[in-house]
Structure 1
Amino acid sequence: MAPLTVVALVVSSALATTGLTGVPIAIVVVAAILMLFVVGYLAMARHIPNAGAFYAYVAHGLGRPFGVGTAWVALATYTAFQLCCYGGFSAAIAAPLARQYLDLDLPWYVLAFAALIIVGFLAANEVKMSERVLVVLVLAETILVLAYTIAIMLIPGFAFDFAALSISNLVGPGAAAGTLVVIGMTAFAGVEQSAVYIEESKNPKRTIPVATYTTIFTIGLLYVLSSWVQISAGGPAIIERAGREGPDLFFNLAAVTLGQAVLVVGTVLLGTSLFAAMLAFGNAVARYIYALGREGVLPRLFGRATRKGAPRNAALAQTAVAFGVLTLYAIAGWDPLVQLFYWGSTSGGLGVLLLITATSMAVICYFARGSHGESLWRRLIAPVLASVVLLFVSYLAIDNLATLFGVHPGTGPARIVPIAVLVIFSGGVVWGLILRTIRPAVYQGIGRGTHSDATSSLSTILAERTAR
């Protein structure tokens, strides 16, 4: 998770885009939806430990071809999220700081490539190295968000605006309300990644559920409080200020009581927040590539791990893809903030929503063939309720794409993104069907992880390491 990115960037964008002040209640609703979704998600994870997560669960629940299609969409989704962070980090944070404090006028892509090298190195090594970096960065930005939120509450005359918590904000005029819920869903993107690390966890049956539920609860509480405080402090002018000030809105409000130094500290930690997101999404992409390579869905080369269990080849592959896309943007002269950061994050948010929805339905189908010792609540009731709600939210997202992207209906990314998602998913399904014909052994192993016919697996490597 990247708390400061959400509090400073997502909240201001939601206010400016929708014109509604119901961000806090939208976050409450989304947190509740996710709490419901992960009941079945984690139940399935206990029986299918696989670094591919969504890919493996859909393959087991809805069929192998759909699993491959899901894997391709997951790769595109998390790649979009990671790439958007490079645009935001380099153009909005690193470049301005370099000009102001180092008197260096560096192109955004130079700083993006520098970040890419660091992220690529960390992602190519065992998760423990990335973990140490992420713990420090996320802890620092979380403390800052809390400190700045408290500082805003100390502004003379501050009072909570309880209208922001009214459910009526989610049934507002036209498409805006639906868009608000979708943006709230985007704010939680990443919480589902816990299952990606299930093969590298020492005690996954305990660690993964505790990490997931704790993250949703604590991060949701933080988002609700910080967004509510911003809206309350801004008063009637908050919508106009959000459009004019953007991410600086949060920092400017805190500066009233803490002084202008908060802008510098906040900007620096916003940069580290984006860096943390790059690293987290890079790790997720690498593990999806690894899972597919291990099972032969992608070349086996990507399914090899180091002696310490790091999916190095997969990490290098995703780094190469990121390098190619950033190079394309640099040569074409495309806007790194609008066409990379904003469009990329919105596309990623839509992708995660669709992945979660498909996985929720896969959970129902999987447990319909056997209870596997799970309670009725975990295997049926919670997954069905989650699927119904997620299908409705997905409909809202697709119906409101133009509003989400800030373009006219049927133009630009509002037209291209859904077509691209459909093409990518269909391509994966077709490849799965081709594998059934030309490589039946590989096809049978789709989504089976360590139980597939693989030349090497992360679990085997870790077991050998433990034995030594």
Structure 2
Amino acid sequence: MSSTATQPPGSQLSDALARDRLGVPAIVFFMMSAAAPLTVVAGVVPTGLAVTGLTGIAIAFLAVALVLAIFSVGYVAMARHIANAGAFYAYISQGLGKPVGVGASWVALLSYNMFQVASYGGFGAIAQPLFLDWFGVDVQWWILALAAWALVAVLGVRDVAVNGKVLATLLVAEIALTVIFAIANMTMDGFTPSADALDPGTLVGAGSGALLVMAVTGFVGFEQSVVFSEESRDPRRTVPRATYVAIALIAVTYAFASWAMISAAGDNVVQRAGEEGPELFFNLAAVQLGDTALHMGHILFLTSLIAASISFHNIIARYMFSLGREGVLPRAFGRTVPGTGAPKNGSLAQSAVGLVVIVLFAVMGWDPLVELFFWGGSGGGLGVLLLVTLTSFAVIGYFARNKVGEDVLHRVIAPVVSSVILLVMSYLAVDNIAKLLGVEPGSTPAIVVPSAFAVLFVAGVIWALYLRSARPQTYSGIGLGARSATTGGGGFSAALNENTEYNR
């Protein structure tokens, strides 16, 4: 099938994403690569232990997986009726109203860009001492970050199937090593299974909000099944299967590996996590597996960050494509690469953002590990949690108006249950933002991160209201994706004549 579609004159959809390119395995690879299993187990888990002092991260992963599985019941049901690369944006627009949807889309762009640029900072900062150890060459972190950036930029405008093959190769090796290291931890002398790591009581104690957000951060990417719905084969079946498979695999991998690491480290695991950081996971396994395995772990840790960068780049490019296609952003973002169907200008824009951030951090001398990787990833996790919560309520709103062949479990019960739980989790996350970032309450990062999401959300709502009054045809197409009736000028460009031609 052709990667582009012929559009009627005046149709706002000048290009289409490539169709029928992705099956369940490919989408699962995209989803799990964004989740970056080795990065989470070796990076997020020790950080969570050091920052919160709570050892219940394994049970937190399982609890979050259960909540996301309940959320996905309504989420994938809605996907059977809406195929849109904008995912959260499209669903919120059709469930809670177009202004809320546009506000959410701007929050989504910030959240995913935070993850994307954070991965560059993490790659550069972690690779620098490794290159010195391996090759005796002290390469500046930003040079290494730019190398990763260049690779992701090139792949971003290639066929989505090519990206999927790259991610599949990296992900299989990454998961295999994570499991092998976890098993090695279990074979250590004096290994004692940890009950604290699976203690449900840690989910309601002090700092539980920070612990839950860290767990949510590990699942970011599970929602990608819907982002790729327009490019998947038989999305009514592919999307649900990929979603549930990814959630289950992520939960089992994280819970098992983190439990094994905490058990192997023993009673002083929090202290060791603070002192050793990401090296804790590798150091424990190296006792049994030797230095060769340690080096292999470091290599795959770096490729895990690259895989996450590729995956987040694809999400952001498709969000921008969706917004450009509908005129919420300039229409140039709604164009694709001939022959590959990749969202060209959305990809290039994201590459530009990544380049600017890397250069800015290099020039200002800011810490790429703490101020970019850690704060960026944590802040992005909070943003995605807020988006998932809004989307859960949007599912309720959509099915309240559209009883379209779904039973009461998919339309009402699961969405209501997940909405209540996610609302509580969001409150705890915002309330624990300082602990999550490892800063003092009331400090600049603790204020700026949630405030940035609030400001962007309000700005997006105001922009949507402007479109409603000044460009009603553009406004009418918000959230409709390939069915958008919008024509003419883009959201930020001068208004052109708009007609009523629909591309259905």
Aligned equivalent of 1:123, options 136, 151, 156: 156
- Which deviations, in whole Å up to 9, do the C-alpha atoms of 1:40-62 show, x marking residues without a partner? 11111111100000000000011
- Contact 1:291-1:449 at 8 Å conserved across structures: yes
State the shift of 1:101 in Å.
2.5
Task: Read off the aligned partner of 1:241 and give its amino acid letter.
Answer: R
State the shift of 1:323 in Å.
1.1
2:377 maps to 345
SS in structure 1 opposite 2:223? helix
Would you say 1:85 and 2:119 are equivalent positions?
yes
- Contact 1:364-1:383 at 8 Å conserved across structures: yes
Superposed, 1:370-385 pairs within 5 Å as 370-385=402-417
Task: Read off the aligned partner of 2:255 and give its amino acid letter.
Answer: V
SS in structure 2 opposite 1:191? coil
Aligned equivalent of 1:69, options 103, 108, 116: 103
- Which deviations, in whole Å up to 9, do the C-alpha atoms of 1:317-343 show, x marking residues without a partner? 111111112221111111101110011
1:417 maps to 449
State the shift of 1:20 in Å.
1.4
2:78 maps to 44
- Which deviations, in whole Å up to 9, do the C-alpha atoms of 1:250-300 show, x marking residues without a partner? 111111111122221111110000000001000000000000001111111
Superposed, 1:285-364 pairs within 5 Å as 285-307=316-338, 308-364=340-396
Task: Read off the aligned partner of 2:58 and give its amino acid letter.
Answer: P
Superposed, 1:16-27 pairs within 5 Å as 16-27=50-61
Taking the aligned partners of 1:159 and 1:431, their CA distance within structure 2 comes to 57
Would you say 1:32 and 2:66 are equivalent positions?
yes
Taking the aligned partners of 2:420 and 2:258, their CA distance within structure 1 comes to 27
Superposed, 1:142-157 pairs within 5 Å as 142-157=175-190
Aligned equivalent of 1:198, options 210, 219, 229: 229
Superposed, 1:444-455 pairs within 5 Å as 444-453=476-485
What's the TM-score once normalised by structure 2's chain length?
0.88
- Contact 1:294-1:455 at 8 Å conserved across structures: no
- Contact 1:125-1:311 at 8 Å conserved across structures: no
- Worse-superposed segment, 384-393 or 187-196: 187-196
Taking the aligned partners of 1:55 and 1:421, their CA distance within structure 2 comes to 15
Give unpaired runs (5+ residues) of structure 1. Answer: 457-468
State the shift of 1:128 in Å.
0.5
Superposed, 1:382-421 pairs within 5 Å as 382-421=414-453
CA RMSD across the alignment: 1.2
Task: Read off the aligned partner of 1:333 and give its amino acid letter.
Answer: G
State the shift of 1:454 in Å.
5.4
- Contact 2:79-2:239 at 8 Å conserved across structures: no
Task: Read off the aligned partner of 1:290 and give its amino acid letter.
Answer: F
2:263 maps to 232
SS in structure 2 opposite 1:188? coil
Aligned equivalent of 2:94, options 60, 81, 93: 60
State the shift of 1:164 in Å.
2.2
Aligned equivalent of 1:281, options 312, 326, 330: 312
Aligned equivalent of 1:111, options 121, 124, 144: 144
- Which deviations, in whole Å up to 9, do the C-alpha atoms of 1:198-222 show, x marking residues without a partner? 0000121111111110011111011
Taking the aligned partners of 2:448 and 2:36, their CA distance within structure 1 comes to 27
State the shift of 1:235 in Å.
1.1
- Contact 2:44-2:214 at 8 Å conserved across structures: yes
Taking the aligned partners of 1:20 and 1:77, their CA distance within structure 2 comes to 26
SS in structure 2 opposite 1:52? coil
- Contact 2:149-2:355 at 8 Å conserved across structures: yes
Task: Read off the aligned partner of 2:215 and give its amino acid letter.
Answer: G
Taking the aligned partners of 1:274 and 1:454, their CA distance within structure 2 comes to 38
- Contact 1:141-1:269 at 8 Å conserved across structures: yes
SS in structure 1 opposite 2:80? helix
Task: Read off the aligned partner of 1:53 and give its amino acid letter.
Answer: A
Task: Read off the aligned partner of 1:5 and give its amino acid letter.
Answer: T
Task: Read off the aligned partner of 1:128 and give its amino acid letter.
Answer: A
- Which deviations, in whole Å up to 9, do the C-alpha atoms of 1:387-410 show, x marking residues without a partner? 000000000000001100111111
Taking the aligned partners of 1:432 and 1:84, their CA distance within structure 2 comes to 29
Task: Read off the aligned partner of 1:242 and give its amino acid letter.
Answer: A
- Which deviations, in whole Å up to 9, do the C-alpha atoms of 1:343-398 show, x marking residues without a partner? 10011000000000000000000000121110100011000000000000000000
Give unpaired runs (5+ residues) of structure 2. Answer: 1-34, 489-504
Taking the aligned partners of 2:225 and 2:129, their CA distance within structure 1 comes to 34
Aligned equivalent of 1:439, options 459, 462, 471: 471
Taking the aligned partners of 2:62 and 2:46, their CA distance within structure 1 comes to 17
SS in structure 2 opposite 1:410? coil
2:6 maps to none
1:368 maps to 400
Taking the aligned partners of 1:168 and 1:452, their CA distance within structure 2 comes to 48
- Contact 1:5-1:274 at 8 Å conserved across structures: yes
State the shift of 1:105 in Å.
1.9
State the shift of 1:163 in Å.
3.2
Taking the aligned partners of 1:302 and 1:350, their CA distance within structure 2 comes to 26
1:4 maps to 38
State the shift of 1:455 in Å.
6.6
1:464 maps to none
Taking the aligned partners of 1:70 and 1:143, their CA distance within structure 2 comes to 36
Structure having the larger proportion of residues in helix: 1
Taking the aligned partners of 1:413 and 1:135, their CA distance within structure 2 comes to 36
2:30 maps to none
Task: Read off the aligned partner of 2:157 and give its amino acid letter.
Answer: A
Task: Read off the aligned partner of 2:388 and give its amino acid letter.
Answer: I
Identity percentage over the alignment? 53
Taking the aligned partners of 1:261 and 1:154, their CA distance within structure 2 comes to 18
2:215 maps to 184
Task: Read off the aligned partner of 1:113 and give its amino acid letter.
Answer: L
Taking the aligned partners of 2:195 and 2:139, their CA distance within structure 1 comes to 45
Would you say 1:208 and 2:242 are equivalent positions?
no
State the shift of 1:162 in Å.
2.4
Aligned equivalent of 1:250, options 261, 281, 290: 281
SS in structure 2 opposite 1:209? helix
What's the TM-score once normalised by structure 1's chain length?
0.95
1:268 maps to 299
- Contact 2:48-2:211 at 8 Å conserved across structures: yes
